[in-house]
Chain A
Amino acid sequence: MEHMLQKIREAAKAQLEHADSLDKLNEIRVNFLGKKGELTAVLKGMRDVAPEDRPKVGQLVNETRTAIEDALEATKKHLESAAREARLKQEVLDVTRPAVKTMLGHRHPNTIAREEVERIFVGMGYEVVEGPEVEYDEYNFEKLNIPANHPAKDEQDTFYINKNILLRTQTSSVQARVMEKGNLPIRIISPGRVFRSDEVDATHSPSFHQIEGLVIDEHVTFADLKGTLAEFAKELFGPDTKVKFRPHHFPFTEPSAEVDVTCFKCGGKGCRFCKGEGWIEILGCGMVHPHVLEMCGIDPEQYSGFAFGVGLERIALLKYEIDDMRLLYENDIRFLKQF
């Protein structure tokens, strides 16, 4: 009996050595361990074994079964890993083939610039507010220290709806609306669309976008304005950016300034981009004129503040080196896809 079991074990082992597929493996399992298998046959022959030998033979049979099962399992693992290897060899991809893209849409450069500016000022504690695009003369001009017949009214080439209602020429119109509410201190920026009657060309558009900033509090100084805009310029154009404040005139600020930043292309050395000057003008600003504060019911002896206005298109054109403003309003997908 013992001899027979040994023979079965060896026979299984020999067959397994030639097994080259999972089907074959199954066949071997059935041949030896199945209902009609050789080992099962041996078990059936237990009846003929003397009762005192049965435990020993039983143990032997079980050992043989385990040995065959282990061998089957080992061979199976081996076959499976060989099959996987073969599949991996087959499944080689040409990784340089073009990607399958989900075709995301693209954000307009104006919006990218706007979100960039918003991010910077929200981080500095500014609330973003909006105001109407069709606006009363009072907010666009009068409350900004530009009374009737003021030459600045002509300079801005205003579109009028009627004598009192116009298309706002500047987001500064939001200043008076916010100040009138009287919730001090004020730290706001106000992005939005503005209109001036300029014919469309490479550098002009009858409608464009600005972001206005306004801070009103006790003890706000021109030095604070300088520091704030210096931070802004560094965030927007890079940490090495320097700013230069030049005196200028706006009716609603005093003192007033125009701000240049070092050319972000040449770093200030002078290049074609900055017309050799090393500086690029980006915005206008100043300390809120006390008369503007008074007209909005704020006491200029107690409060002071600063305001600034920056053109979004100007930032977009500069940052992305777009050479023609008309591209921003054509909406050609080949243009938009580049952002």
Chain B
Amino acid sequence: MNTALSWIKAYVPDLEVTDQEYMDAMTLSGTKCEGYTRLDKNLEKIVVGKIEKIERHPDADKLVVCQVNVGTETIQIVTGAPNVVEGALVPVVLDGGRVAGGHDGSPLPENGIKIKKGKLRGVPSAGMMCSVEELGSSREAYPEAPEDGIYIFQEDVEVGSDAVEALGLHDTVFEYEITSNRVDCYGVLGIAREAAATFRKPFYAPEIKETGNDEDVHDYLKVSVEDTDLCSRYVARMVKNIKLGPSPKWMQRRLAAAGIRPINNLVDITNYVMEEYGQPMHAYDYDLIAGHEIVVKRAKDGDTFQTLDGQIRNMDANVLMINDGEKAVGIAGIMGGENSKITDDVKTMVFEAACFDGANIRLSAKRIGLRSDASGKFEKGLDPNTAMEAMNRACQLIEELGCGEVVGGAIDVYPNPKTPLELPFEPEYINDLIGTDLSEEQMLSYFPALEIGYRPEDRMLIIPTWRQDLLRKCDIAEEVARFYGYDNIPTTLPSGAATAGKLSFKMRIEATARDVAEFCGFSQAYCYSFESPKVFDKLLVPEGDALRNAITIMNPLGEDFSIMRTTSLNGMLTSLATNYKRRNKDVKLYEIANVYLPKALPLTELPDERVQFTLGMYSDAPENFFYMKGVVEEFLDKIGLQSKITYAPDSEKSFLHPGRQANIIYEGEVIGFLGEVHPAVADNYEIDSRVTVAVLDMPGIVAKASYDRKYEGIAKYPAVTRDISMLMKKDILCGQIEEIIEKKGGKLVESYHLFDIYEGSQIAAGFKSMAYSITFRAPDRTLEDKEVNGAMDKILAALEELGINLRK
């Protein structure tokens, strides 16, 4: 909201502050100022001049030479402006002065334009006559200014006086950010009250006088409200013998500063009162109101209505309408109708100031797709008591500005008048809550400027009805805190019993996951939680697969963000693809974030949010699968999953290479999977490289994890190592061999490792050779050869049973 400081000062005349002081203090008391613009910025040495004589320029057809009386002297000014006439009063910038900009209205230079004596086509010129654009303003604020030419004063101003003053430009426009709870501050009066309280100056509300002739409006018009739930008050008055014309300069300028274009006295008064009180008003042409009656009621489903902007709109049974005796004439609180709008020929009009239900207006405006200035005010929920005040204020202005004859009396449909709320004044509570030690007197001193009353007999505060944000004693505490100053409140630390600061076990496991991933060269990615339903096709997920049971967002940003992901792979592959496209080499990424698995669709309870630890890498190195397996095992080892981890190649993930994938199994449960991405999927992501991924399902892992360790001692007795070299069919897995070593070797087997694997020209096709080194050790003695031989014999026998040929 933009408002000229001069308008605020109309109600707080004692306010004497610099612009910066005003902005800072208002912001700190809760009326945030986003910034301000000085209207007289760069306007220097500009006075009212009177053109006394105009002669042709001897050498230029388009220039004239003027003698201009500037009070102290008469100076010669050469100008090309087409509209100068002898006797005109104009703003003149003198030699050495400054104007804000050029006459074409282009963006204003930071330091304005300096004006110096000079010659135009050989004729001396000692200054410049100004257009409104050169004064940094526009025809919006000065509709009487010519489209192209010098501004000419229409009222009598003193020659030689400050022209900036005469134009009302010694003013500053502040831009406010009003919070949604302060409906009253969407009106200038609300902000003025805040300014008065902030600077401890008295506030003077506008003085509203009795208006109207000796007729009675009830003889002209009948009003009934059928849907009182949506219209708590409806006030109507009438004006006849309307004389349209321009509104006075002061009103035009205040409106222009607020960003509202002046139109004519009637429209301007309506807008002025809306700005001042925050109360929108509407005017209907009385002669177009059938039956001279107003009925406020809901529309019917399927109704259409032409608003005064000419558009045809679709109504429904939740939209409140203003009707006359036959038809709808306006959408309540949103926009009037084409059929009753005020034209230049208007003679008599009905003025409406009402209070409509905020939520209904907001929802209706949204459904109809029409948000107006008025609906923007109503949707915040207005104070019904303001309606009558605003109406009377408007009628007073109509009389004062000679805009028409106000009919006596007012129609006021207000079945349940709102009375002021009373709240107990509890100074101890306030001090306890904000941590201060203020006296009662100090607290009470903040209230008068806010028009909050106090009744000492029962220590009650009387809250004005426009302060809809003051409902409980905590709200009163905030008023005290604001005007005492948040800055002045002490800073302390909570004094209660100590509490243990800690991370949950799950978060500690996730922290280890990050550490391990990063030690292994993976960098952390952040991906979106929502994605496109098309990702399932991209990942070759078959129809009917459980992964396709995804939660759908009702109002997504578009199809690409419309489902909650059930797999973390698309995010990972998309990120890898971004890197691949940008030619980043050998990229390794990880992500720790949720997938969202619905328990049933449509959703009736919250889904299962499962953290996935996802690792992804691309590189042309051949052993990526085993590198990835290494990272997985380092992590599982670090978090205490120290039993045997097995890998089952029957994982059947459609998005992975059929021969290069495995489920990761721990204590009989699948805790994740890893594999090389299917080349067709890699193609879908436009990655022309081998991509390897691993996904660990963290809830299952966290349940098994532990940071407990027990020292097992360092072996005291020597180990015995035996190597075996084997030839076997290719389809025999390391896992099978290791299972035999563990089972048959028994307790004496301390460790084993694969130290050679070979397929190729040296051995028969379809076969491979492998060599394991097995270490035996007993904790309590030096092993004897025959013990080791016994174990080895069992291992070898079992291997031979598998059809493995031992190479001696």
A residues in contact (CB < 8 Å) with B: 102-108, 110-111, 115, 118, 121-130, 132-136, 149, 151-152, 154-155, 159-162, 165, 167, 185, 187, 193, 195, 197, 199, 206-207, 215, 217-224, 226-228, 230-231, 244-249, 251, 254-257, 287, 289-291, 304, 328-334, 336-337
Contact = CB atoms under 8 A, between A and B. Distances in A.
Given A149-B359, A226-B489, A128 B503 contact: yes
B472 interface: yes
B736 interface: no
B415 to A, nearest CB: 22
Interface string B477-509: 110011000110111111111111111101100
A222 B603 CA distance: 41
Contact of A105 (B496, B503, B517, B557): B517
12 contacts: A105-B517, A105-B518, A161-B554, A162-B602, A215-B494, A222-B435, A226-B435, A227-B491, A255-B434, A255-B482, A331-B527, A332-B578
A1 B640 CA distance: 78
A222 B433 contact: yes
Nearest to A149: B359
Interface in B550-605: 551-557, 561, 564, 575, 578-579, 582, 584, 587-590, 593-594, 596, 602-603
A121 B503 CA distance: 11
B433 A304 contact: yes
B555 A127 contact: no
Contacts of B363: 149
Contacts, number: 248
A315 to B, nearest CB: 14
B589 A127 contact: no
Contacts of A329: 526-528
Interface of B: 27-30, 32, 179-182, 358-359, 362-363, 379-380, 432-436, 469, 472, 474-475, 477-478, 481-482, 486-487, 489-504, 506-507, 511, 514, 517-530, 551-557, 561, 564, 575, 578-579, 582, 584, 587-590, 593-594, 596, 602-603, 606-607, 609
Contacts of A165: 603, 606
Given A108-B523, A206-B557, A222-B481, 16 more contacts: A103-B521, A105-B521, A105-B588, A111-B514, A115-B511, A133-B594, A134-B606, A134-B609, A161-B554, A187-B494, A221-B434, A227-B491, A245-B489, A255-B474, A257-B486, A287-B433
Contact of B499 (A126, A206, A251): A126
Nearest to B553: A159
Given A106-B523, A217-B496, A255-B474, A134 B607 contact: yes
Given A127-B501, A149-B359, A227-B492, A106 B524 contact: yes
Nearest to B584: A333
A334 B609 contact: no
Contacts of B520: 105
Contacts of B486: 226, 245-247, 257
B474 A107 contact: no
Contact of B474 (A230, A245, A289): A289
A223 B499 CA distance: 19
Nearest to A255: B478
Contact of A219 (B432, B503, B524, B594): B432
B528 to A, nearest CB: 6
A280 B607 CA distance: 38
Contacts of A160: 553-555
A103 B475 CA distance: 56
B529 A105 contact: no
Contacts of B181: 249, 251
A249 B489 CA distance: 18
Contacts of A103: 521
A134 B561 CA distance: 15
A144 to B, nearest CB: 14
B499 A151 contact: no
A276 to B, nearest CB: 10
B433 A134 contact: no
Nearest to B494: A224
B555 to A, nearest CB: 6
B180 A155 contact: yes
A221 B432 contact: yes
Nearest to A222: B434
A291 B475 CA distance: 12
A334 B578 CA distance: 11
B503 A255 contact: no
B720 to A, nearest CB: 35
B494 A228 contact: yes
A244 B594 CA distance: 36
Contact of B526 (A104, A110, A154): A110
A181 to B, nearest CB: 14
Nearest to A106: B523
B87 to A, nearest CB: 47
A202 B587 CA distance: 25
Contacts of B379: 151
A92 B302 CA distance: 92
Contacts of B557: 197, 199, 206
A174 to B, nearest CB: 13
B584 A332 contact: yes
Considering residues A247, A291, A330, which has the most beta carbons from chain B within 10 angstroms of its beta carbon? Answer: A247
Nearest to A275: B35
Nearest to A129: B504
A154 B362 contact: yes
Given A161-B552, A185-B497, A331-B575, A249 B180 contact: yes
A330 B580 CA distance: 12
Contacts of A228: 493-494
A128 B508 CA distance: 11
A221 B501 contact: no
A249 B469 CA distance: 10
Considering residues B496, B521, B582, which has the most beta carbons from chain A within 10 angstroms of its beta carbon? Answer: B496
B43 to A, nearest CB: 23
A104 B518 contact: yes
Nearest to A121: B501
Given A154-B362, A162-B554, A132 B30 contact: no
A248 B179 contact: yes
Contact of A136 (B517, B602, B606): B606
Given A122-B503, A152-B180, A219 B496 contact: yes
A122 B578 contact: no
Given A165-B606, A224-B494, A328-B526, A248 B30 contact: yes
Nearest to B481: A255
A336 B524 contact: yes
Nearest to B179: A249
B553 A223 contact: no
Nearest to B516: A105
Nearest to B479: A255
